[in-house]
Amino acid sequence: METGHRMDNGIRNNTMLKNEMHLTFDAISVNEAFARIAVAAFVTPLNPTIEEISDIKTAVSEAVTNAIIHGYDAEYESENPSEEMPQIYMRCLIEEDVLLVEVKDTGKGIENIEQAMEPLFTTKPDMDRSGMGFAFMEAFMDDLEVISVPGMGTTVQMKKKLGTTPWIRQED
């Protein structure tokens, strides 16, 4: 027997909002836009502001671009020849009014995370990379954690608390 009252959006009012999404896509630059749009669509039940959506899309764009440009660069490809396209794994989790976004690659990893996170540091100056990716992620999200093992890949975890969503808890 079901207890609790169902609201129009299908969420019972006696449970917290929780939703999860997993995406796997080819590590090619056109998929950066796909990742941004997918996360923006995923967070719509929280009724985010335009500014919140913009912040999230910017941070996701930076994380995915870093995975493509740095995780699976030419050096990685020459050392790991494969006919299969490298993949990026993205996980999004909503718990109440907090969004967690995790972007993972299985590429070359980061030797020195602290140095890589310094504003303006880049390993690709020849590609006109600004070295601001992690700084932007940190500025636009509430929490940023980078986990990396050289030769195994990098996982970027970002959290953002979104504005209040009173319509989720309203009773009919």
Distance of alpha carbon 140 from the chain centroid: 12
CA–CA separation, 42 and 21 (whole Å): 8
Catalytic residue among 31, 32, 66, 102: 66
Catalytic site includes residue 62: yes
Which residue from 78, 95, 97, 96 is spatially nearest to 86, judged by alpha carbons?
Answer: 78
Catalytic residue among 19, 47, 129, 138: 129
Catalytic site includes residue 66: yes
Q: Cα dist. 45→69, 135, 167 in Å? A: 32, 28, 10
Catalytic site includes residue 111: no
Please give the single-letter amino acid code of residue 47.
Answer: N
CA–CA separation, 141 and 117 (whole Å): 15
Catalytic residue among 32, 52, 62, 102: 62
End-to-end CA distance of the chain: 21
Catalytic residue positions? 62, 66, 129
